[in-house]
Structure 1
């Protein structure tokens, strides 16, 4: 499969949580070289579930006009503006983007596509595929009790960390994927495109909208 011109972007979402519709409150991303970063906080147009707040620290004021993390007010974009802003960044990278996340197919990718659909944001000419490091972890490390991102970091000798910050989690996903590929002697791009955990954008779109909507990330 020719993929020399693809741009691999690791990303993560922090979200409103446990009831639908799930919306992002932070989008973090980094390219495969670790040189280009994206980080934006997004003011949702619905309340953040208390269980999500307990996990990630995000809250809004009672009028849904300000976003806070652990009590600190954040500079935000509104939801539609934030989604378009992320797409503009992906275009600036050069398009032909492969998005990689831990639990991509069933959560981060689904949440992203549901929100793109809500605002009729076109993405098929920029995002060409989705790769899931959680599924890769299940295939390559079937003996592990947990394959959550912090536990995979520990398993791979990177060090245990649970940040609940989208940019930090994108960084950590990048480290996990690169370390998994190296330890299993798989070329990086072949790893990203492995059909056991890679979907084209068309396949991810079908997977997203022909199955139940995303639920909270939960156990992995």
Structure 2
């Protein structure tokens, strides 16, 4: 049993603020943990209608490519990418519960396993990824995929348990609660998906690095 893992990166108009400002998403880049052909990139216009359509396209891509909800992985995920993504889903009334089951923050893993600093650029150096960070959403998602896979290998950890480590993983429900999207004691009728997935896809293959 494995869970599909997707690495993603957002380009935005700024940072979330305590006064309630929700940055707009300018671009989304995402890539499968192993299949190079499974990739998504979209530039989202600032117009509200087109913004909603762009977010829906991302959710549809996840649902079309994967039979079960995925884990989304980003660097500084909990403070930035997951927060902005979920708040924009809420703002534009986009349903995503059938596409996502949780989030992993590779920056928290970096803080636990490596010396400072913990930027993606520094982590690329730490795992001997010899290239410049492009600051392009899709390229950064691909670079992060390499970084996380090498982090797991360098620390003698298997990929799936590494991604799901509770020190840097949150379920979708936990993320929604932490951002105030739902109440912890909510009695709403919610669909909860566990992060387990069995696939015969050629993209998920048996290797020491993955399992």
User: Shared fold (TM-score greater than 0.5)?
Assistant: yes
Report how many aligned residue pairs link the two structures. 175
Q: Does 2:193 correspond to 1:191?
A: no
1:40 pairs, out of 42, 45, 59, with: 42
Say which SS state the counterpart of residue 82 (structure 1) adopts.
helix
Q: Does 2:81 correspond to 1:98?
A: no
The corresponding residue for 1:71 is none
Partners in 1 of 2:22 and 2:174 — Cα distance? Answer: 22
1:82 pairs, out of 39, 42, 54, with: 54
Q: Is the 8 A contact 1:98 1:131 kept in 2?
A: yes
Shift of 1:160: 4.8
Q: Give RMSD over aligned pairs.
A: 1.6
Q: What does 1:57-206 correspond to in 2, within 5 Å?
A: 78-94=50-66, 95-141=68-114, 143-144=115-116, 146-206=117-177
Partners in 2 of 1:209 and 1:176 — Cα distance? Answer: 31
The corresponding residue for 2:5 is 8
Partners in 2 of 1:201 and 1:91 — Cα distance? Answer: 16
Gaps of 5+ in 2: 182-211
Partners in 2 of 1:86 and 1:23 — Cα distance? Answer: 15
Q: Is the 8 A contact 1:104 1:131 kept in 2?
A: yes
Report the CA distance shift for 1:203/1:15 in structure 2 as closer, same or farther (over 3 A): same
Partners in 2 of 1:12 and 1:83 — Cα distance? Answer: 13
Query: If each structure's strand is expressed as a fraction of its own residues, which one has the higher value?
Result: 1
Gaps of 5+ in 1: 47-76, 211-220
The worse-fitting range, judged by mean Cα deviation, of 127-136 and 157-166 is: 157-166
Say which SS state the counterpart of residue 97 (structure 2) adopts.
coil
Q: Is the 8 A contact 1:25 1:42 kept in 2?
A: yes
